[in-house]
């Protein structure tokens, strides 16, 4: 398998999940035409700090994408737009064909990044990529997967099945 094809598959694996599925809209609470519903055991609003903290069995759903986490913090800017979202503790992001998991996920609108960290893994079908941290540079259409000095990045990519000729 050519190296450029492998790199292409890796990028598709990570970015197809993020960009085509609208994960950016989900984390940014952008107007995707679907309502965003968040349920939790508790909601605490800090007006001075312009942030809301959902805690305890948090479930956030928009369209077919669902986020599960222990705590979800939404930070707003001066125009009351979402500037940062932090999901902390047993983070799972699921949709019909893809899912991701990690200990923490942070969307930063100013940096235009989504970082999944702590045993991070993205799975699409039988393909998967895992590391200690997966960073998606959204506007650059680029990703970076890292592991600690003692760990290794792991990617499992199955070749596409080609239809058999009669």
- Boundaries of every domain in the chain: 3-156
Supply the pLDDT for residue 19: 31
Supply the pLDDT for residue 32: 55
Residue 106 Cα distances to 5, 117, 125, 150, 151, angstroms:
29, 9, 24, 24, 22
Supply the pLDDT for residue 52: 93
Q: Residue 49: helix, strand or coil by DSSP?
A: coil
Q: Residue 25: helix, strand or coil by DSSP?
A: helix
Nearest to 68 by CA among 92, 88, 40, 35: 92
Token code pair at residue 135: 């960073």
> Where are any strands of DSSP class E within 14-149?
36-39, 42-46, 51-62, 65-76, 82-94, 98-108, 113-124, 127-137, 142-146
With tokens 């190296």, the residue in question is 3
Average pLDDT of adjacent 10-residue blocks, the chain of 166 residues: 34 36 39 78 94 95 90 90 92 90 93 92 90 89 86 87 73
Supply the pLDDT for residue 6: 35
Supply the pLDDT for residue 161: 76
**Spatial separation of the C-alpha atoms in residues 53 and 90, rounded to whole Å:** 16
Find how far residue 113's CA is from the centre of its chain: 10
Best CATH choice for the domain 3-156 from the list 1.10.3720.10, 3.40.50.10880, 3.30.2020.30, 2.60.450.10: 2.60.450.10
Supply the pLDDT for residue 24: 42
């Amino acid at each position: 398998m050519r190296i450029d094809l492998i790199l292409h598959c890796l990028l598709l694996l990570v970015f197809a999940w993020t960009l085509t599925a609208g994960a950016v809209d989900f984390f940014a609470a952008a107007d995707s035409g679907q309502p965003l519903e968040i349920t939790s055991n508790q909601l605490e609003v800090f007006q001075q700090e312009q942030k809301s903290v959902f805690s305890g069995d948090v479930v956030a759903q928009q369209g077919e994408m669902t986020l599960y986490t222990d705590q979800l913090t939404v930070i707003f800017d001066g125009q009351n737009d979402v500037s940062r979202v932090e999901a902390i503790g047993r983070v799972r992001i699921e949709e019909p064909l893809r899912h991701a998991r990690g200990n923490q996920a942070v969307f930063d609108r100013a940096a235009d990044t989504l970082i999944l960290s702590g045993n991070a893994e993205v799975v699409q079908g039988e393909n998967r990529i895992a590391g200690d941290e997966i960073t998606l540079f959204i506007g650059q259409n680029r990703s970076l997967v890292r592991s600690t000095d003692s760990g290794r990045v792991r990617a499992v990519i199955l070749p596409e099945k080609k239809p058999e000729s009669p």
